[in-house]
Amino acid sequence: MNYFNLLNLEQKYDLDLKELNKRYLEAQLKFHPDKARDPAEKNLFLQASSNINKAYQILKDEVHRAEYILLINAINITETKDLPQNQLIKIWEELEIVEKATKLSELAELYAEKNTAKHKLMEKLTDAFNNHNLQDALDITISLKYLTNLINNIKIKQNATSGNQ
């Protein structure tokens, strides 16, 4: 089953999230279990509803969507190599910077900087997928995954820091 087809969407990375939401709601409405005429149909609708939910959860998230498109193209990101050592060192250094940050202003600056970097990576990822350059898409997806985790760590640190001040 292809999640893009399930939600009647063009298979591409740069999805219109409003369109995704619209198609998701339409599909859920069409296959709502309360609309079933008998128990067998209700079971089919429950399965369809579950698949629609899973498709929506994957496609709405920029990292999961990229991983899914790679998977459709027979590239399983969990079976691929990790980042080169120099990139891993850079990520560890950035994690340390987040750990050492004590002021909300520092964290806000880091958050803005990393969010900008994330959007640039997503633009590169869109280009890679549009040009069918799956190796670049894979490399960028791995970087995006690490960057997204870094941004989440910054958010967690911001919440902890704001609670302590």
Q: What is the mean pLDDT of residues 29-38?
A: 92
Give the chain's mean pLDDT.
93
User: Length of the chain in residues, anyone?
Assistant: 165
Q: What is the mean pLDDT of residues 119-146?
A: 96
Domain extents in the chain:
3-60, 80-164
DSSP label at residue 32 = -
Q: What is the pLDDT of residue 148?
A: 96
* Token pair 């549009």: residue: 130
**Residue 164: pLDDT band with limits 50, 70, 90:** low
**Residue 79: pLDDT band with limits 50, 70, 90:** confident
* Token pair 């969407």: residue: 9
51 pLDDT higher than 90? yes
* Token pair 């902890």: residue: 160
81 pLDDT higher than 80? no
What is the third-level CATH fold of 80-164?
A: Monooxygenase (1.20.1280)
109 pLDDT higher than 80? yes
CATH number assigned to the domain with residue range 3-60, chosen from the 4 options 1.10.287.110, 1.10.10.10, 3.30.360.10, 3.30.70.260: 1.10.287.110
Residues 14 and 126: beta-carbon distance below 8 Å: yes
Q: What percent of the chain has pLDDT over 90?
A: 81
Better pLDDT: 164 or 72: 72
